[in-house]
Chains A and B, each alone.
Chain A
Amino acid sequence: MLILITIWEAISKFDVFPAFMWPPLIIPNDPGGVTVLKTLVNGIIDGQLLEATGSSLIRLFIGFFIAVVIGFVLGFLIYKYKIVDDTLGFFVTSLQAIPNIVWMPLAILWFGLGVGSVIFIVILGAALSITITSSTAFKSVPPLLIRVASTMGSTGIHLFRTVIFKSTIPQQIAGLRLAWALAWRAVLAGELLGGSGGLGTLLDLGRSIQAMDLIFSIMIIIGVIGSFIDNFIFVRIERFVLRKWGILTT
């Protein structure tokens, strides 16, 4: 890491590329000049970056939440009814082969430039993935557990709530984690193309005003948030669940 930063600074200092293409990270090239760190800190202090991060995250949460609901319902229907599996199941699998940013032109036509189309992209990206992972999870519930529960008199919603759903939790978490990563990509791609504020739009602004320092600051934020949520939220939940379910024994 330190070596990488050093090399970066050296390239910047020796003027291999112009400063707008290759800004210094920490030490300014001339007194009071731009650095990535300074832009990052200023951006956070004056709220521009924080505001953009906030609005990206809000869209992400809204989209992700709706996607989870849709994904679980569709996943359950695919598991429960063979006819749905044969029709919708195949359809969902084929739709997932389309990178979700490809939907953006269509989304812009339907919802206009703005929040609507960004959320649409997020929902689409995550919901398809959750549909597939949750239907697979439901299908892999050990039949033995269902037989045990039904011999003790559990049926219908009770059976679903206490056994079928519980038994899929480890796989559902893994599925959500995957879908979260897709949603995070989708929100940024959507904002990049669809405008409407947020980190993606700010990135596009950075490109148009040739502010490489701004672009880098945003990329750092994206990376940090992405790995923070993955490592500190999903990985922890996953480890806890796997340990409790007896899948992971360490």
Chain B
Amino acid sequence: MAEEHIILQNVHKEFQRKDHAPTIALDDVTLSIKKGEFVSLLGPSGCGKSTLLNIVAGLEKETSGSLLVNNKPIKGPGNDRIVVFQESGLFPWMSVLDNVMYGLLIKKVPKQEAKERALDWLQKVHLGKFAHALPHELSGGMKQRVAIARALVTDPEILLMDEPFAALDEQTRMVLHMELDKLWRETGKTIIFVTHNIREAVVLSDRIVLMKTRPGGIKNIFPVQAARPRTSSDSILVHLENRILTELEQEMEKVLKEELGSDYALKTDDLRVDPNNNMGSDI
């Protein structure tokens, strides 16, 4: 059995607001992630999936509960856990190469070696030709490739991805899915991947953590047992996608009912199938 890499125990996060009761972003989240596992956090907006990722990253602090990485509590951000954000966040004044070298130079890697490793990683994301380009000269997909190279070049144990492909067009996203899958299999990193795209989660993950809202937390966890590399038309995946979609719809309906009034129904006159696929047998 692979060792537990990240352990979240009863993690609770509240945001204090002026003149309001505090908002509970995460309520009692317990989750453990194995070394080398690819876990997606999936859910509608407001379910606290990004907050959870930020807590693991050390960018935010949990209100209560504990978070262990390699059985040690974390102290703030660290370069063993690097985040790739939705917007690439490349430094606009640095060339692509300098951007990729940034993390290495912080780790005091000698300049020459840093340059070689950065160029090597730019080759891996197929951007070797663009080493001396400036970020604004690249397309959205290329920027995300640079962001991924910049994160992985420092050889972190954990890669945290916060909707990294959400702003890209469908074709680019599909290509990057395949590339990320390949990079993950080659490097064996532990990846936590935040997304609201079910297909993306299904195609990439070992496990999918479906999250709920109000209060934010874990609703269900789905293991994905399909061989890699995957195609989204794989029947196991299609089936899983539908199961998740059903649960997500329940969640959405709950949210909309709260927001728009209790008589709201997402669908009318449909036969409800519960997540375990038993239609009324438990009556």
Say whether A246 contacts B134, CB under 8 Å: yes
- In the assembled complex, B92 has its CB within 8 A of some CB on chain A: yes
Known pairs A244-B134, A249-B136; A151 contacts B57 (CB<8 A): yes
Shortest CB distance B222–A (Å)? 28
Say whether A144 contacts B78, CB under 8 Å: no
Scoring B76, B79, B92, B103 by chain A CB atoms within 10 A of each residue's CB, the highest score goes to B92
List of A residues within 8 angstroms of B103 by Cβ: 152-153
Say whether B87 contacts A144, CB under 8 Å: yes
A138 vs B246: C-alpha distance in the bound complex, in angstroms?
A: 46
- In the assembled complex, B144 has its CB within 8 A of some CB on chain A: no
Instruction: Select A167's contact among B91, B106, B134, B154, beta carbons within 8 Å.
Output: B91
- In the assembled complex, B114 has its CB within 8 A of some CB on chain A: no
Known pairs A244-B134, A246-B135, A246-B136; A151 contacts B59 (CB<8 A): yes
A85 vs B94: C-alpha distance in the bound complex, in angstroms?
A: 31
Instruction: Select B106's contact among A144, A154, A166, beta carbons within 8 Å.
Output: A154
Say whether B81 contacts A245, CB under 8 Å: no
Instruction: Select B82's contact among A145, A152, A167, A245, beta carbons within 8 Å.
Output: A152
Say whether B102 contacts A162, CB under 8 Å: yes
Say whether B93 contacts A167, CB under 8 Å: yes
Instruction: Select B89's contact among A144, A162, A169, beta carbons within 8 Å.
Output: A144
List of B residues within 8 angstroms of A162 by Cβ: 102
List of A residues within 8 angstroms of B77 by Cβ: 150-151, 153
Say whether B134 contacts A152, CB under 8 Å: no
A148 vs B87: C-alpha distance in the bound complex, in angstroms?
A: 10
Interface residues on A, range: 20 to 34
Say whether B135 contacts A152, CB under 8 Å: no
Shortest CB distance B162–A (Å)? 10
Instruction: Select A153's contact among B85, B107, B134, B150, beta carbons within 8 Å.
Output: B107
Scoring A151, A153, A166 by chain B CB atoms within 10 A of each residue's CB, the highest score goes to A151
Q: Residues 137-148 of chain B: 1 if any A CB is under 8 Å from the residue's CB, otherwise 0?
A: 100000000000
- In the assembled complex, B7 has its CB within 8 A of some CB on chain A: no
Say whether A152 contacts B136, CB under 8 Å: no
Shortest CB distance B58–A (Å)? 8
Shortest CB distance B232–A (Å)? 30
8 Å CB contacts to B: which residues of A115-174?
A: 142, 144-145, 147-154, 158, 162-163, 166-167, 169
List of B residues within 8 angstroms of A152 by Cβ: 79, 82, 102-103, 106, 150-151, 154
Instruction: Select B93's contact among A153, A169, A249, beta carbons within 8 Å.
Output: A169
8 Å CB contacts to A: which residues of B56-97?
A: 57-59, 76-79, 81-83, 85, 87, 89, 91-93
Say whether B59 contacts A158, CB under 8 Å: no
A245 vs B102: C-alpha distance in the bound complex, in angstroms?
A: 17
A31 vs B267: C-alpha distance in the bound complex, in angstroms?
A: 101
Known pairs A150-B59, A151-B77; A246 contacts B82 (CB<8 A): no
A20 vs B237: C-alpha distance in the bound complex, in angstroms?
A: 94
Closest to A162 in B: B102
Say whether B79 contacts A166, CB under 8 Å: no
Say whether A244 contacts B154, CB under 8 Å: no
A149 vs B135: C-alpha distance in the bound complex, in angstroms?
A: 16
Say whether B93 contacts A148, CB under 8 Å: no
A144 vs B59: C-alpha distance in the bound complex, in angstroms?
A: 11
List of A residues within 8 angstroms of B150 by Cβ: 152
List of A residues within 8 angstroms of B136 by Cβ: 245-246, 249
List of B residues within 8 angstroms of A166 by Cβ: 91, 93
Say whether B93 contacts A245, CB under 8 Å: yes
Instruction: Select A147's contact among B89, B93, B106, B135, beta carbons within 8 Å.
Output: B89
A50 vs B76: C-alpha distance in the bound complex, in angstroms?
A: 59
A169 vs B78: C-alpha distance in the bound complex, in angstroms?
A: 27
Closest to B79 in A: A153
List of A residues within 8 angstroms of B82 by Cβ: 151-152
Shortest CB distance B95–A (Å)? 10
Known pairs A153-B77, A246-B135; A148 contacts B85 (CB<8 A): yes
List of A residues within 8 angstroms of B151 by Cβ: 152
List of A residues within 8 angstroms of B154 by Cβ: 152
List of B residues within 8 angstroms of A245 by Cβ: 92-93, 136
Closest to B81 in A: A151
List of B residues within 8 angstroms of A169 by Cβ: 93
List of A residues within 8 angstroms of B89 by Cβ: 142, 144-145, 147-148
Interface residues of A (CB under 8 A from B): 142, 144-145, 147-154, 158, 162-163, 166-167, 169, 244-246, 249
- In addition to A145-B89, A148-B85, A153-B78, 10 A-B residue pairs with Cβ atoms within 8 Å of each other are A145-B91, A147-B59, A147-B83, A150-B76, A151-B59, A151-B82, A151-B160, A152-B151, A244-B134, A245-B93
10 A-B pairs with CB atoms under 8 Å apart are: A150-B59, A151-B57, A151-B59, A151-B77, A151-B82, A152-B82, A153-B78, A162-B102, A163-B91, A246-B136
